[in-house]
Amino acid sequence: MLRSTRFVAVAVASVLIAVPSQLHAQDEQGKGLGDVVGDLLRGGHDQSTDRRIPFGRTEMQLSFAPLVRATAPAVVNVYATQQVRSPFMGDPFFEQFFGRQMPRQQSSLGSGVLVDPSGIVVTNFHVIRDADDVKVALSDGREFASTTLLKDESLDLAVLKIDAPEAFPVVAIGDSDALEVGDLVLAIGNPFGVGQTTTSGIVSGLARSHLGISDFGFFIQTDAAINPGNSGGALVNMSGQLVGINTAIFSQTGGSVGIGFAIPSNMVRAVVEAARSGSDFFDRPYLGASFEGVDAQMAEALGLTAPSGAIVTAIAPEGPAQKAGIKPGDVVTAMNGTAIQNPDALGYRLATQAMGSTVELTLLRRGDQVVVTVPLERAPEGTSAAQVTIGGRSPFAGTVVAQLSPALAQRLRLPTEAKGVAIVRIDGNSPAAGVGFRPGDIVRQVNGVDIDTPQALSDAAAAQTRWWRFSVERDGRVMHLVRAF
């Protein structure tokens, strides 16, 4: 402590010694360096942001304790358990050699945040993925069973509900768009199951994308220590407001190295509002347009000073974008006056807007700036939303399939213009699960028959054959497979 205090004193002295030879030096606005040092000693600050650096022993002895006392009771532990069945369970042949197979239990531990006095809890999707039972434990030791109101894998968010006679403590949801790099934040959660822990840091970056965490691409980066178990916990600003849900870290060791990521609170608010309205999934606004990022070569060709924006690559007929006059080749540079750096940023900005509202998009079209107003609509369900369950003993047995529509494509995290018959759900103990199918796979062909309707797939899967040849599209690539079954 003495060494630290002496260092501060020496540093201040060196500034004061350096000033006399520079007293007449002026900054761009006519203020001498002596005045600048005087401002620092008096606790001067940047008038444009109403922020200043801490200065002096008194300010360095300030504590986050009052802020932690106000917010920590609303941060909870989330315990998820899942019964895992052996694929040989109930098979007489294997039980003859290995005995009766019993289900085993898998469990996961994470954190969550109470955001409504009625007991609404926000956590990460990956904390409760495939869980059969989810319990929530408060900081005072009380434990509650929970109901899942909404979960969205693409955003890595889930909304739970717990019940008690009295109101629960909450953290108010703040405005994550007001954050700036350098702002102080606290991360509260339950790392490694050691108990509720608070760490401090700053906002290291904003709008981080292409992290491989989920389909969502607009994260807050912080150097506040986040470790396994912190997932779903709170990132809190100095006003005691929730500004993010901690979700992932970048680490080669499994522990914190000062690079953590949180989902912005404005996205969290939109998901919570969807859960409150009774929806079990998060409905994103539909524009009826596809976008790509602008690289350096495109930027030069388009006359942009920097590679930023989202270029329109396709327009759906009769969609909101077409009705608003948006055309392929247009570059979206701003929404409601906020700059758009890439398609991920555009997707985030759109998702945080209320359904039924309108937004102003600023476009660059052949060197001219154009502003259009676009209504935000729900994606159309299509002419047939009927789902078909495939039975029998084919490779597709145990799947639920449906005709793709913009709405279904959105839920399956596919391009909204995707067409065909997609797998919606898979029974975990089915032949289809053993083959390796995933929700979102588009079945293109089975034994030489083109699949254009769910009934066509059902008929093809009923064939009496041992050999199966089929083509499935996944992530834009078509796989041609042969299986003996």
Which residues participate in catalysis according to the annotation? 126, 156, 231
Q: What is the DSSP string of 95-149?
A: HHHH-----EEEEEEEEEEEEETTTEEEE-HHHHTT-SEEEEE-TTS-EEE-EEE
Length of the chain (residues): 485
Nearest to 272 by CA among 248, 293, 245, 291: 245
Residues 232 and 181: beta-carbon distance below 8 Å: no
Angle at 133 between CA 127 and CA 134, to 5 degrees: 45
Name the E strands within 180-229.
184-189, 197-208, 219-222
Q: Are 369 and 342 in contact (CB under 8 A)?
A: no
What's the burial of 381, exposed, middle or buried (CB within 10 Å: 0-12/13-18/19+)?
Answer: exposed
Contact 427, 449 (CB under 8 A): no
DSSP string, 249-314: E--SSSS--S-EEEEEHHHHHHHHHHHHTT-SS----B-SEEEEE--HHHHHHHT-SSS-SEEEEE
Q: What is the DSSP string of 145-189?
A: E-EEEEEETTTTEEEEE---SSPPP---B--GGG--TT-EEEEEE
110 contacts 124 by C-beta, under 8 angstroms: yes
Query: Under 8 Å CB-to-CB from 264, ≥6 apart: which residues?
Result: 176, 177, 179, 218, 219, 220, 243, 244, 348
> Measured between alpha carbons, how far is 422 from 427 in angstroms, rounded to an integer?
15
Locate 184 and state its tokens.
Answer: 């102080």
Spatial distance between the Cα atoms of 146 and 158, rounded to a whole number of angstroms: 12
- Kindly state the tokens that stand for 189: 């959660």
At 400, is the secondary structure helix, strand, or coil?
strand
- 479 CB contacts (<8 Å, ≥6 apart)? 471, 472, 473
Pairwise CA distance, residues 41 & 13, whole Å: 12
* CA 134 – CA 81 distance, rounded (Å): 6
445-to-384, 454, 462 alpha-carbon distances in Å = 20, 12, 14
